[in-house]
Structure 1
Protein backbone atom coordinates (compact mmCIF):
# COMPACT_ATOMS: atom_id res chain seq x y z
CA UNK A 1 0.00 0.00 0.00
CA UNK A 2 2.87 2.40 -0.67
CA UNK A 3 1.03 4.16 -3.51
CA UNK A 4 -0.58 7.45 -2.49
CA UNK A 5 -4.19 7.80 -3.66
CA UNK A 6 -5.03 11.31 -4.92
CA UNK A 7 -8.64 12.18 -4.05
CA UNK A 8 -10.18 14.86 -6.30
CA UNK A 9 -12.90 17.19 -5.06
CA UNK A 10 -14.53 20.57 -5.61
CA UNK A 11 -13.17 23.23 -3.25
CA UNK A 12 -16.39 24.16 -1.43
CA UNK A 13 -16.67 23.45 2.29
CA UNK A 14 -19.24 20.70 1.74
CA UNK A 15 -17.27 19.03 -1.07
CA UNK A 16 -14.10 19.09 1.04
CA UNK A 17 -16.02 17.58 3.97
CA UNK A 18 -17.12 14.74 1.70
CA UNK A 19 -13.58 14.20 0.38
CA UNK A 20 -12.12 14.17 3.88
CA UNK A 21 -14.75 11.62 4.92
CA UNK A 22 -13.58 9.28 2.13
CA UNK A 23 -9.95 10.05 2.97
CA UNK A 24 -10.50 9.13 6.63
CA UNK A 25 -12.16 5.83 5.74
CA UNK A 26 -9.36 4.90 3.32
CA UNK A 27 -6.70 5.84 5.85
CA UNK A 28 -8.38 3.61 8.45
CA UNK A 29 -7.90 0.77 5.96
CA UNK A 30 -4.19 1.62 5.71
CA UNK A 31 -4.10 3.58 2.45
CA UNK A 32 -1.97 6.70 1.98
CA UNK A 33 -4.02 9.56 0.52
CA UNK A 34 -3.96 13.23 -0.39
CA UNK A 35 -6.73 15.70 -1.27
CA UNK A 36 -6.60 17.55 -4.61
CA UNK A 37 -9.18 20.40 -4.77
CA UNK A 38 -10.34 22.05 -8.02
CA UNK A 39 -12.98 24.68 -8.87
CA UNK A 40 -15.77 23.48 -11.15
CA UNK A 41 -17.59 25.47 -13.83
CA UNK A 42 -20.76 25.17 -11.77
CA UNK A 43 -19.06 26.98 -8.89
CA UNK A 44 -17.68 29.77 -11.10
CA UNK A 45 -20.75 30.71 -13.19
CA UNK A 46 -23.34 31.80 -10.64
CA UNK A 47 -25.41 34.33 -12.59
CA UNK A 48 -27.40 31.83 -14.68
CA UNK A 49 -29.79 29.02 -13.69
CA UNK A 50 -28.18 25.59 -14.08
CA UNK A 51 -30.58 24.50 -16.83
CA UNK A 52 -29.61 27.54 -18.94
CA UNK A 53 -25.94 26.53 -18.97
CA UNK A 54 -26.79 23.46 -21.04
CA UNK A 55 -23.99 21.36 -19.57
CA UNK A 56 -24.62 17.88 -18.22
CA UNK A 57 -22.52 17.25 -15.13
CA UNK A 58 -21.49 20.86 -14.64
CA UNK A 59 -20.19 20.09 -11.13
CA UNK A 60 -18.35 16.93 -12.15
CA UNK A 61 -16.84 17.69 -15.56
CA UNK A 62 -13.69 19.42 -14.24
CA UNK A 63 -12.91 16.44 -12.02
CA UNK A 64 -13.58 14.04 -14.91
CA UNK A 65 -10.96 15.87 -16.97
CA UNK A 66 -8.48 15.82 -14.06
CA UNK A 67 -8.92 12.06 -13.69
CA UNK A 68 -8.72 11.30 -17.41
CA UNK A 69 -5.51 13.35 -17.60
CA UNK A 70 -3.96 11.49 -14.66
CA UNK A 71 -3.95 14.34 -12.12
CA UNK A 72 -6.18 12.50 -9.63
CA UNK A 73 -6.99 8.84 -8.97
CA UNK A 74 -10.59 9.20 -7.80
CA UNK A 75 -13.24 11.87 -7.34
CA UNK A 76 -15.85 12.34 -4.62
CA UNK A 77 -19.25 13.77 -5.52
CA UNK A 78 -22.70 14.41 -4.14
CA UNK A 79 -24.33 11.63 -6.11
CA UNK A 80 -27.33 13.75 -7.15
CA UNK A 81 -24.91 16.01 -9.12
CA UNK A 82 -23.46 13.14 -11.16
CA UNK A 83 -24.86 12.48 -14.68
CA UNK A 84 -26.47 9.05 -15.09
CA UNK A 85 -24.01 8.31 -17.90
CA UNK A 86 -20.34 8.56 -16.83
CA UNK A 87 -17.54 9.48 -19.29
CA UNK A 88 -15.86 6.59 -21.08
CA UNK A 89 -13.17 5.07 -18.88
CA UNK A 90 -14.66 6.31 -15.58
CA UNK A 91 -16.77 4.02 -13.36
CA UNK A 92 -18.76 4.20 -10.15
CA UNK A 93 -16.48 2.62 -7.54
CA UNK A 94 -18.27 3.16 -4.22
CA UNK A 95 -21.49 4.57 -2.83
CA UNK A 96 -21.23 5.51 0.82
CA UNK A 97 -24.02 4.95 3.32
CA UNK A 98 -26.74 7.47 2.71
CA UNK A 99 -27.46 10.44 4.97
CA UNK A 100 -30.72 12.40 5.35
CA UNK A 101 -32.72 12.51 2.08
CA UNK A 102 -35.11 15.31 3.07
CA UNK A 103 -35.30 18.82 1.62
CA UNK A 104 -35.88 21.62 4.08
CA UNK A 105 -36.97 25.24 4.00
CA UNK A 106 -34.70 27.72 5.76
CA UNK A 107 -36.86 30.74 6.62
CA UNK A 108 -36.46 34.01 8.48
CA UNK A 109 -38.43 33.16 11.58
CA UNK A 110 -41.90 33.90 10.21
CA UNK A 111 -43.95 31.32 8.31
CA UNK A 112 -47.09 33.43 7.79
CA UNK A 113 -46.19 33.74 4.10
CA UNK A 114 -47.07 30.06 3.60
CA UNK A 115 -50.73 31.05 3.90
CA UNK A 116 -50.43 34.00 1.51
CA UNK A 117 -47.98 35.46 -0.96
CA UNK A 118 -44.26 34.90 -0.68
CA UNK A 119 -40.92 34.46 -2.41
CA UNK A 120 -38.81 31.32 -2.08
CA UNK A 121 -35.37 30.75 -3.61
CA UNK A 122 -33.91 27.63 -5.20
CA UNK A 123 -31.68 26.77 -8.15
CA UNK A 124 -33.41 23.43 -8.67
CA UNK A 125 -36.19 22.90 -11.24
CA UNK A 126 -37.38 19.93 -9.16
CA UNK A 127 -37.77 22.03 -6.01
CA UNK A 128 -39.27 24.93 -7.96
CA UNK A 129 -41.93 22.74 -9.58
CA UNK A 130 -42.90 21.00 -6.35
CA UNK A 131 -43.04 24.29 -4.44
CA UNK A 132 -45.28 25.89 -7.10
CA UNK A 133 -47.47 22.79 -7.15
CA UNK A 134 -48.14 23.23 -3.42
CA UNK A 135 -47.95 27.05 -3.30
CA UNK A 136 -49.06 28.32 -6.75
CA UNK A 137 -49.48 31.85 -5.39
CA UNK A 138 -45.77 32.13 -4.54
CA UNK A 139 -42.85 33.41 -6.61
CA UNK A 140 -39.75 31.22 -6.95
CA UNK A 141 -36.42 32.94 -7.68
CA UNK A 142 -33.13 31.40 -8.78
CA UNK A 143 -30.46 30.75 -6.16
CA UNK A 144 -26.99 29.51 -7.15
CA UNK A 145 -23.68 28.88 -5.44
CA UNK A 146 -22.33 26.47 -2.83
CA UNK A 147 -24.23 25.95 0.41
CA UNK A 148 -22.44 28.76 2.24
CA UNK A 149 -22.98 31.24 -0.62
CA UNK A 150 -26.67 30.36 -0.90
CA UNK A 151 -27.19 30.78 2.85
CA UNK A 152 -25.52 34.19 2.69
CA UNK A 153 -27.66 35.26 -0.30
CA UNK A 154 -30.79 34.29 1.63
CA UNK A 155 -29.82 36.66 4.44
CA UNK A 156 -28.95 39.48 2.02
CA UNK A 157 -32.22 39.36 0.07
CA UNK A 158 -35.84 39.97 1.04
CA UNK A 159 -36.93 36.42 0.22
CA UNK A 160 -39.06 34.57 2.74
CA UNK A 161 -36.95 31.43 2.56
CA UNK A 162 -34.82 29.08 0.50
CA UNK A 163 -34.85 25.32 -0.04
CA UNK A 164 -31.77 23.22 0.83
CA UNK A 165 -30.90 19.54 1.11
CA UNK A 166 -30.83 18.67 4.80
CA UNK A 167 -27.78 16.41 4.34
CA UNK A 168 -25.59 19.23 3.05
CA UNK A 169 -26.42 21.59 5.91
CA UNK A 170 -26.04 18.84 8.52
CA UNK A 171 -22.66 17.70 7.22
CA UNK A 172 -21.05 21.11 7.74
CA UNK A 173 -23.13 22.13 10.80
CA UNK A 174 -24.87 24.93 8.94
CA UNK A 175 -28.48 24.01 9.69
CA UNK A 176 -30.06 27.00 11.49
CA UNK A 177 -32.88 26.89 14.03
CA UNK A 178 -35.27 28.55 11.57
CA UNK A 179 -36.12 25.62 9.28
CA UNK A 180 -38.92 23.17 8.56
CA UNK A 181 -38.60 19.73 6.97
CA UNK A 182 -40.39 19.47 3.62
CA UNK A 183 -41.57 15.89 4.06
CA UNK A 184 -43.99 16.32 1.13
CA UNK A 185 -41.21 17.15 -1.34
CA UNK A 186 -39.79 14.13 -3.20
CA UNK A 187 -35.98 14.41 -3.17
CA UNK A 188 -33.63 14.36 -6.12
CA UNK A 189 -32.56 10.89 -7.23
CA UNK A 190 -29.62 9.85 -5.00
CA UNK A 191 -30.03 12.86 -2.67
CA UNK A 192 -28.07 12.41 0.57
CA UNK A 193 -25.66 9.89 -0.99
CA UNK A 194 -21.97 10.32 -1.79
CA UNK A 195 -20.35 8.50 -4.71
CA UNK A 196 -16.69 7.95 -5.52
CA UNK A 197 -15.66 7.38 -9.14
CA UNK A 198 -12.36 6.09 -10.49
CA UNK A 199 -10.76 4.89 -13.71
CA UNK A 200 -12.05 1.50 -14.81
CA UNK A 201 -8.50 0.21 -15.34
CA UNK A 202 -7.19 1.36 -11.92
CA UNK A 203 -7.42 -1.90 -10.00
CA UNK A 204 -5.65 -0.44 -6.94
CA UNK A 205 -8.20 2.38 -6.52
CA UNK A 206 -11.17 0.13 -7.35
CA UNK A 207 -10.10 -2.46 -4.77
CA UNK A 208 -9.64 0.21 -2.11
CA UNK A 209 -13.01 1.79 -2.79
CA UNK A 210 -14.91 -1.50 -2.95
CA UNK A 211 -14.35 -1.71 0.81
CA UNK A 212 -16.30 1.53 1.35
CA UNK A 213 -19.38 0.55 -0.67
CA UNK A 214 -22.74 0.38 1.13
CA UNK A 215 -24.83 -2.13 -0.80
CA UNK A 216 -28.29 -0.96 0.38
CA UNK A 217 -27.53 2.64 -0.65
CA UNK A 218 -26.03 1.42 -3.92
CA UNK A 219 -29.21 -0.49 -4.83
CA UNK A 220 -31.62 2.30 -3.84
CA UNK A 221 -29.68 5.02 -5.69
CA UNK A 222 -29.37 2.73 -8.73
CA UNK A 223 -33.17 2.45 -8.86
CA UNK A 224 -33.65 6.21 -8.51
CA UNK A 225 -31.04 7.08 -11.14
CA UNK A 226 -32.44 4.48 -13.56
CA UNK A 227 -35.86 6.14 -13.13
CA UNK A 228 -34.24 9.52 -13.86
CA UNK A 229 -32.27 8.28 -16.87
CA UNK A 230 -35.32 6.58 -18.44
CA UNK A 231 -37.48 9.68 -18.02
CA UNK A 232 -35.13 12.47 -18.96
CA UNK A 233 -33.11 11.22 -21.91
CA UNK A 234 -30.32 13.68 -21.18
CA UNK A 235 -32.59 16.63 -20.35
CA UNK A 236 -32.79 18.53 -17.08
CA UNK A 237 -36.33 18.16 -15.74
CA UNK A 238 -38.33 18.41 -12.49
CA UNK A 239 -37.95 14.77 -11.44
CA UNK A 240 -37.92 13.35 -7.92
CA UNK A 241 -37.35 9.77 -6.78
CA UNK A 242 -36.82 7.91 -3.53
CA UNK A 243 -36.33 4.17 -3.02
CA UNK A 244 -36.26 2.74 0.50
CA UNK A 245 -35.35 -0.79 1.51
CA UNK A 246 -37.74 -2.47 3.99
CA UNK A 247 -35.54 -4.99 5.75
CA UNK A 248 -38.40 -6.68 7.60
CA UNK A 249 -40.30 -7.56 4.42
CA UNK A 250 -37.30 -7.65 2.06
CA UNK A 251 -39.03 -5.16 -0.24
CA UNK A 252 -38.29 -1.84 -1.91
CA UNK A 253 -40.74 1.05 -1.49
CA UNK A 254 -40.45 3.44 -4.44
CA UNK A 255 -41.88 6.94 -4.91
CA UNK A 256 -41.27 8.82 -8.16
CA UNK A 257 -42.62 12.09 -9.57
CA UNK A 258 -42.41 14.15 -12.76
CA UNK A 259 -43.70 17.74 -12.81
CA UNK A 260 -44.12 20.46 -15.38
CA UNK A 261 -41.77 23.40 -14.77
CA UNK A 262 -44.63 25.55 -13.44
CA UNK A 263 -45.74 22.75 -11.13
CA UNK A 264 -49.24 22.56 -12.58
CA UNK A 265 -48.87 19.09 -14.08
CA UNK A 266 -47.84 16.15 -11.95
CA UNK A 267 -47.21 12.48 -12.69
CA UNK A 268 -46.65 10.28 -9.66
CA UNK A 269 -45.98 6.62 -9.00
CA UNK A 270 -45.73 4.77 -5.67
CA UNK A 271 -45.02 1.05 -5.64
CA UNK A 272 -43.70 -1.71 -3.37
CA UNK A 273 -41.60 -4.41 -5.02
CA UNK A 274 -39.84 -7.55 -3.91
CA UNK A 275 -36.10 -6.92 -3.61
CA UNK A 276 -35.47 -9.45 -6.39
CA UNK A 277 -36.98 -6.97 -8.92
CA UNK A 278 -34.61 -4.08 -8.15
CA UNK A 279 -32.61 -4.12 -11.41
CA UNK A 280 -35.57 -3.09 -13.59
CA UNK A 281 -37.65 -1.28 -10.99
CA UNK A 282 -36.64 2.29 -11.90
CA UNK A 283 -37.03 1.61 -15.61
CA UNK A 284 -40.48 0.05 -15.24
CA UNK A 285 -41.78 2.89 -13.05
CA UNK A 286 -40.48 5.53 -15.48
CA UNK A 287 -42.02 3.69 -18.45
CA UNK A 288 -45.38 3.64 -16.69
CA UNK A 289 -45.24 7.44 -16.32
CA UNK A 290 -44.05 7.95 -19.91
CA UNK A 291 -46.78 5.71 -21.30
CA UNK A 292 -49.48 7.59 -19.40
CA UNK A 293 -48.77 11.13 -20.61
CA UNK A 294 -45.27 11.70 -19.26
CA UNK A 295 -43.60 11.49 -22.67
CA UNK A 296 -45.66 14.45 -23.92
CA UNK A 297 -44.73 16.46 -20.83
CA UNK A 298 -41.02 15.62 -21.25
CA UNK A 299 -41.17 16.79 -24.88
CA UNK A 300 -42.77 20.04 -23.71
CA UNK A 301 -40.12 20.54 -21.00
CA UNK A 302 -37.28 20.02 -23.49
CA UNK A 303 -38.89 22.57 -25.81
CA UNK A 304 -39.26 25.16 -23.03
CA UNK A 305 -35.67 24.72 -21.82
CA UNK A 306 -34.30 25.24 -25.35
CA UNK A 307 -35.90 28.67 -25.64
Structure 2
Protein backbone atom coordinates (compact mmCIF):
# COMPACT_ATOMS: atom_id res chain seq x y z
CA UNK A 1 0.00 0.00 0.00
CA UNK A 2 1.30 3.46 -0.90
CA UNK A 3 2.15 5.66 2.04
CA UNK A 4 -0.06 8.72 2.28
CA UNK A 5 1.57 11.98 1.11
CA UNK A 6 1.30 14.65 3.79
CA UNK A 7 0.20 17.90 2.14
CA UNK A 8 1.71 20.84 4.04
CA UNK A 9 -0.35 24.04 3.89
CA UNK A 10 1.57 27.30 4.13
CA UNK A 11 1.25 31.00 3.40
CA UNK A 12 3.21 31.97 0.31
CA UNK A 13 5.48 34.61 1.85
CA UNK A 14 9.21 33.84 1.81
CA UNK A 15 9.30 33.36 5.59
CA UNK A 16 6.23 31.09 5.66
CA UNK A 17 7.69 28.98 2.83
CA UNK A 18 10.98 28.71 4.72
CA UNK A 19 9.08 27.44 7.77
CA UNK A 20 7.05 24.94 5.72
CA UNK A 21 10.16 23.69 3.91
CA UNK A 22 11.87 23.16 7.27
CA UNK A 23 8.97 20.94 8.37
CA UNK A 24 8.96 19.22 4.94
CA UNK A 25 12.62 18.25 5.18
CA UNK A 26 12.28 17.09 8.80
CA UNK A 27 9.32 14.87 7.89
CA UNK A 28 11.12 13.50 4.83
CA UNK A 29 14.15 12.69 6.99
CA UNK A 30 11.77 10.52 9.03
CA UNK A 31 10.70 8.73 5.84
CA UNK A 32 7.39 10.49 5.09
CA UNK A 33 6.24 11.66 1.65
CA UNK A 34 5.27 15.33 1.64
CA UNK A 35 4.04 18.06 -0.69
CA UNK A 36 3.89 21.85 -0.15
CA UNK A 37 0.58 23.61 -0.83
CA UNK A 38 1.03 27.43 -0.71
CA UNK A 39 -2.12 29.49 0.02
CA UNK A 40 -2.55 33.29 0.15
CA UNK A 41 -3.99 34.59 3.42
CA UNK A 42 -6.27 37.56 3.90
CA UNK A 43 -3.66 39.06 6.20
CA UNK A 44 -1.15 39.07 3.35
CA UNK A 45 -3.57 40.45 0.77
CA UNK A 46 -4.98 43.42 2.69
CA UNK A 47 -2.03 45.68 3.48
CA UNK A 48 -3.76 49.01 3.98
CA UNK A 49 -5.72 48.22 7.15
CA UNK A 50 -4.16 47.95 10.61
CA UNK A 51 -4.31 44.37 11.84
CA UNK A 52 -6.65 45.10 14.74
CA UNK A 53 -9.31 46.45 12.36
CA UNK A 54 -9.38 43.13 10.53
CA UNK A 55 -10.54 41.13 13.54
CA UNK A 56 -7.00 39.91 14.11
CA UNK A 57 -7.98 36.53 15.52
CA UNK A 58 -6.69 34.13 12.95
CA UNK A 59 -6.23 36.59 10.12
CA UNK A 60 -3.09 34.74 8.95
CA UNK A 61 -4.36 31.27 9.81
CA UNK A 62 -8.00 31.32 8.70
CA UNK A 63 -7.32 30.48 5.04
CA UNK A 64 -5.22 27.45 6.00
CA UNK A 65 -7.81 26.32 8.56
CA UNK A 66 -10.43 26.36 5.81
CA UNK A 67 -8.10 24.49 3.42
CA UNK A 68 -7.58 21.81 6.08
CA UNK A 69 -11.26 21.44 6.86
CA UNK A 70 -11.98 21.30 3.10
CA UNK A 71 -9.43 18.52 2.73
CA UNK A 72 -6.96 20.31 0.43
CA UNK A 73 -4.13 20.22 3.01
CA UNK A 74 -3.32 17.79 5.84
CA UNK A 75 -1.20 19.90 8.15
CA UNK A 76 -0.40 23.61 8.37
CA UNK A 77 2.76 25.33 9.58
CA UNK A 78 2.46 28.71 11.29
CA UNK A 79 4.47 31.29 13.17
CA UNK A 80 2.97 30.42 16.53
CA UNK A 81 2.48 34.05 17.57
CA UNK A 82 -0.02 34.44 14.66
CA UNK A 83 -2.18 31.53 15.82
CA UNK A 84 -5.30 32.31 17.90
CA UNK A 85 -5.11 30.85 21.40
CA UNK A 86 -8.31 28.91 20.72
CA UNK A 87 -8.00 26.70 17.65
CA UNK A 88 -11.07 26.07 15.46
CA UNK A 89 -13.15 23.00 16.29
CA UNK A 90 -11.62 19.87 14.82
CA UNK A 91 -8.09 21.31 14.50
CA UNK A 92 -5.37 20.44 17.04
CA UNK A 93 -1.79 21.46 17.76
CA UNK A 94 0.55 18.53 17.08
CA UNK A 95 4.04 20.00 17.48
CA UNK A 96 6.01 23.08 18.53
CA UNK A 97 9.41 23.06 16.88
CA UNK A 98 12.53 24.07 18.77
CA UNK A 99 12.20 27.79 19.33
CA UNK A 100 14.50 30.33 17.69
CA UNK A 101 15.26 33.76 19.20
CA UNK A 102 12.20 35.39 20.77
CA UNK A 103 13.81 38.85 20.71
CA UNK A 104 12.55 42.00 19.02
CA UNK A 105 15.11 44.14 17.23
CA UNK A 106 15.17 47.69 15.92
CA UNK A 107 16.50 47.87 12.37
CA UNK A 108 18.06 51.33 11.97
CA UNK A 109 19.33 53.32 9.01
CA UNK A 110 22.35 54.88 10.68
CA UNK A 111 23.15 56.44 14.02
CA UNK A 112 20.09 56.99 16.19
CA UNK A 113 19.85 59.40 19.12
CA UNK A 114 17.09 58.13 21.39
CA UNK A 115 17.00 61.40 23.36
CA UNK A 116 15.79 63.30 20.31
CA UNK A 117 12.30 62.85 18.91
CA UNK A 118 12.09 60.40 16.04
CA UNK A 119 9.75 58.16 14.07
CA UNK A 120 9.72 54.38 14.55
CA UNK A 121 7.57 51.99 12.47
CA UNK A 122 5.68 48.90 13.65
CA UNK A 123 2.29 47.32 12.95
CA UNK A 124 2.16 45.79 16.43
CA UNK A 125 0.23 47.36 19.32
CA UNK A 126 2.53 45.52 21.75
CA UNK A 127 5.71 46.96 20.24
CA UNK A 128 4.15 50.41 19.87
CA UNK A 129 3.06 50.58 23.53
CA UNK A 130 6.39 49.35 24.89
CA UNK A 131 8.29 51.78 22.65
CA UNK A 132 6.15 54.76 23.69
CA UNK A 133 6.48 53.76 27.35
CA UNK A 134 10.25 54.03 27.05
CA UNK A 135 10.43 56.88 24.51
CA UNK A 136 7.29 59.01 24.99
CA UNK A 137 8.81 61.76 22.80
CA UNK A 138 8.85 59.48 19.74
CA UNK A 139 6.24 59.05 17.04
CA UNK A 140 5.19 55.51 16.04
CA UNK A 141 3.76 54.83 12.57
CA UNK A 142 1.94 51.74 11.27
CA UNK A 143 3.94 49.26 9.17
CA UNK A 144 2.38 46.23 7.46
CA UNK A 145 3.37 43.53 4.99
CA UNK A 146 5.75 40.57 5.03
CA UNK A 147 9.28 41.08 6.33
CA UNK A 148 10.74 41.87 2.89
CA UNK A 149 8.03 44.49 2.21
CA UNK A 150 8.56 46.07 5.63
CA UNK A 151 12.33 46.33 5.17
CA UNK A 152 11.74 47.99 1.80
CA UNK A 153 9.27 50.46 3.34
CA UNK A 154 11.82 51.34 6.02
CA UNK A 155 14.30 52.05 3.25
CA UNK A 156 11.81 54.21 1.32
CA UNK A 157 10.66 56.38 4.26
CA UNK A 158 12.40 58.88 6.51
CA UNK A 159 11.86 56.83 9.66
CA UNK A 160 14.73 56.30 12.10
CA UNK A 161 13.98 52.60 12.40
CA UNK A 162 11.45 49.76 12.37
CA UNK A 163 10.87 46.91 14.82
CA UNK A 164 11.08 43.27 13.69
CA UNK A 165 11.20 39.82 15.26
CA UNK A 166 14.84 38.75 15.04
CA UNK A 167 13.95 35.13 14.24
CA UNK A 168 12.06 35.99 11.06
CA UNK A 169 14.93 37.97 9.54
CA UNK A 170 17.51 35.36 10.59
CA UNK A 171 15.53 32.49 9.10
CA UNK A 172 15.56 33.89 5.58
CA UNK A 173 19.04 35.42 5.85
CA UNK A 174 17.99 39.06 5.56
CA UNK A 175 19.10 40.30 8.98
CA UNK A 176 20.65 43.72 8.20
CA UNK A 177 23.98 44.77 9.71
CA UNK A 178 22.44 47.79 11.42
CA UNK A 179 20.17 46.60 14.21
CA UNK A 180 19.80 47.00 17.97
CA UNK A 181 18.55 44.09 20.10
CA UNK A 182 15.66 45.33 22.25
CA UNK A 183 16.40 43.16 25.26
CA UNK A 184 14.08 45.31 27.41
CA UNK A 185 11.03 44.62 25.21
CA UNK A 186 8.88 41.62 26.13
CA UNK A 187 8.08 39.55 23.02
CA UNK A 188 4.70 38.44 21.76
CA UNK A 189 3.59 35.17 23.36
CA UNK A 190 5.26 32.30 21.42
CA UNK A 191 7.42 34.66 19.33
CA UNK A 192 10.20 32.74 17.55
CA UNK A 193 8.31 29.43 17.69
CA UNK A 194 6.80 27.48 14.80
CA UNK A 195 3.73 25.31 15.32
CA UNK A 196 2.15 22.48 13.33
CA UNK A 197 -1.59 21.87 13.38
CA UNK A 198 -3.63 19.00 11.93
CA UNK A 199 -7.18 17.71 11.86
CA UNK A 200 -8.17 16.03 15.10
CA UNK A 201 -9.41 12.94 13.27
CA UNK A 202 -6.33 12.55 11.03
CA UNK A 203 -4.28 10.09 13.09
CA UNK A 204 -1.64 9.58 10.39
CA UNK A 205 -0.71 13.26 10.06
CA UNK A 206 -0.99 13.83 13.82
CA UNK A 207 1.38 10.98 14.63
CA UNK A 208 3.87 11.96 11.91
CA UNK A 209 4.05 15.66 12.79
CA UNK A 210 4.09 15.09 16.56
CA UNK A 211 7.55 13.51 16.13
CA UNK A 212 8.90 17.04 15.50
CA UNK A 213 7.75 18.37 18.89
CA UNK A 214 10.28 20.03 21.20
CA UNK A 215 8.94 19.66 24.75
CA UNK A 216 10.83 22.65 26.23
CA UNK A 217 9.45 24.98 23.54
CA UNK A 218 6.00 23.43 23.93
CA UNK A 219 5.94 24.12 27.69
CA UNK A 220 7.14 27.73 27.51
CA UNK A 221 4.83 28.69 24.63
CA UNK A 222 1.89 27.01 26.36
CA UNK A 223 2.41 29.16 29.48
CA UNK A 224 2.74 32.34 27.39
CA UNK A 225 -0.37 31.59 25.33
CA UNK A 226 -2.38 30.66 28.43
CA UNK A 227 -1.43 34.08 29.87
CA UNK A 228 -2.53 35.74 26.62
CA UNK A 229 -5.82 33.85 26.37
CA UNK A 230 -6.80 34.64 29.97
CA UNK A 231 -5.97 38.33 29.61
CA UNK A 232 -7.41 39.24 26.27
CA UNK A 233 -10.57 37.16 25.89
CA UNK A 234 -10.74 37.61 22.14
CA UNK A 235 -9.63 41.25 22.04
CA UNK A 236 -6.27 42.32 20.76
CA UNK A 237 -4.12 44.31 23.20
CA UNK A 238 -0.49 45.25 23.94
CA UNK A 239 0.52 42.05 25.74
CA UNK A 240 4.03 40.66 26.10
CA UNK A 241 5.04 37.34 27.65
CA UNK A 242 8.13 35.19 27.97
CA UNK A 243 8.61 31.92 29.85
CA UNK A 244 12.04 30.37 30.22
CA UNK A 245 12.90 26.99 31.71
CA UNK A 246 16.00 27.24 33.91
CA UNK A 247 16.89 23.95 35.58
CA UNK A 248 13.78 22.69 37.35
CA UNK A 249 12.07 26.10 37.36
CA UNK A 250 10.15 28.24 34.90
CA UNK A 251 10.75 31.98 35.04
CA UNK A 252 7.83 33.95 33.58
CA UNK A 253 7.60 37.64 32.68
CA UNK A 254 4.36 39.14 31.45
CA UNK A 255 3.07 42.64 30.77
CA UNK A 256 -0.02 44.55 29.68
CA UNK A 257 0.23 48.16 28.47
CA UNK A 258 -2.23 50.89 27.59
CA UNK A 259 -2.20 51.73 23.86
CA UNK A 260 -0.28 54.97 24.48
CA UNK A 261 2.29 53.13 26.59
CA UNK A 262 1.68 55.28 29.68
CA UNK A 263 0.20 52.54 31.84
CA UNK A 264 2.27 49.41 32.42
CA UNK A 265 1.14 46.37 34.41
CA UNK A 266 3.68 43.58 34.82
CA UNK A 267 4.44 40.36 36.61
CA UNK A 268 7.59 38.32 37.12
CA UNK A 269 7.23 34.96 38.80
CA UNK A 270 8.96 31.59 39.17
CA UNK A 271 7.41 28.17 39.55
CA UNK A 272 8.74 24.60 39.64
CA UNK A 273 8.35 22.83 36.28
CA UNK A 274 6.43 20.14 38.14
CA UNK A 275 3.80 22.75 39.09
CA UNK A 276 3.12 24.60 35.83
CA UNK A 277 -0.51 23.57 35.45
CA UNK A 278 -2.51 26.79 35.22
CA UNK A 279 0.60 28.94 35.80
CA UNK A 280 0.01 31.21 32.78
CA UNK A 281 -3.60 31.68 33.84
CA UNK A 282 -2.59 32.52 37.43
CA UNK A 283 -0.14 35.17 36.20
CA UNK A 284 -2.82 36.73 33.97
CA UNK A 285 -5.36 36.68 36.81
CA UNK A 286 -2.89 38.60 38.98
CA UNK A 287 -2.67 41.31 36.26
CA UNK A 288 -6.48 41.38 35.81
CA UNK A 289 -7.02 41.76 39.56
CA UNK A 290 -4.49 44.61 39.76
CA UNK A 291 -5.89 47.06 37.22
CA UNK A 292 -5.81 44.79 34.17
CA UNK A 293 -9.55 44.23 33.89
CA UNK A 294 -10.21 48.00 33.74
CA UNK A 295 -7.31 48.52 31.33
CA UNK A 296 -8.55 45.76 28.99
CA UNK A 297 -11.99 47.37 28.98
CA UNK A 298 -10.59 50.77 28.01
CA UNK A 299 -8.44 49.17 25.25
CA UNK A 300 -11.52 47.42 23.84
CA UNK A 301 -13.40 50.73 23.81
CA UNK A 302 -10.51 52.53 22.09
CA UNK A 303 -10.24 49.88 19.38
CA UNK A 304 -13.96 49.86 18.55
Task: Using structure 1 for the length normalisation, give the TM-score.
Answer: 0.98
Where does 1:93-172 land on structure 2 (aligned, <5 Å)?
93-112=94-113, 114-172=114-172
Change (3 A) 1:211 1:284: same
**Does the CA-based 8 Å contact 2:95-2:195 persist in structure 1?**
yes
Deviations, residues 45-84 of structure 1 (Å, cap 9, x unaligned): 0001101112411000000000000000000000000000
Which whole-Å CA distance do the structure 1 matches of 2:16 and 2:133 have between them? Answer: 31
Distance, in Å, in 2 between the alignment partners of 1:183 and 1:41 is: 32
Match of 2:249 among 243, 248, 251: 251
- Structure 1's consecutive aligned runs of 4 or more residues displaced over 4 angstroms after TM superposition are none
RMSD: 0.7
1:19 correspondence with 2:26: no
In structure 2, the partner of 1:288 is 286
Match of 2:85 in 1: 84
Partners of 2:53 and 2:123 lie apart in 1 by 11
Q: Partners in 1 of 2:125 and 2:118 — Cα distance?
A: 18
Which whole-Å CA distance do the structure 2 matches of 1:229 and 1:279 have between them? 15
Q: Which residue does 1:39 correspond to in 2? A: 40
Distance 1:55 1:245 in 2: 30
SS in 2 for 1:279: coil
Q: Give the Cα–Cα distance (whole angstroms) in 2 for the partners of residues 142 and 28 of structure 1.
A: 41
SS at 2:253's partner residue? strand
Q: What is the 5 A alignment of 1:234-273?
A: 234-247=234-247, 250-273=248-271
State the distance in 2 between where 1:298 and 1:6 align. 40
Counterpart in the other structure of 2:180: 180
> What is the match of residue 207 of structure 1?
207
5+ residue gaps, structure 2: none
Contact 2:107 2:180 in 1 (8 A): yes
Structure 2 equivalent of residue 275 of structure 1: 273
In the alignment, the residues of structure 2 paired with residue 183 and residue 271 of structure 1 have an alpha-carbon distance, to the nearest angstrom, of 18
CA distance in 1, matches of 2:264, 2:275: 26
Residue 52 (structure 1) aligned with residue 53 (structure 2): yes
Give the deviation of 1:305 after TM superposition. 0.5
Shift of 1:2: 1.3
Question: Larger deviation: 153-162 or 52-61?
Answer: 52-61
Deviation at 1:277, TM superposition (A): 1.8
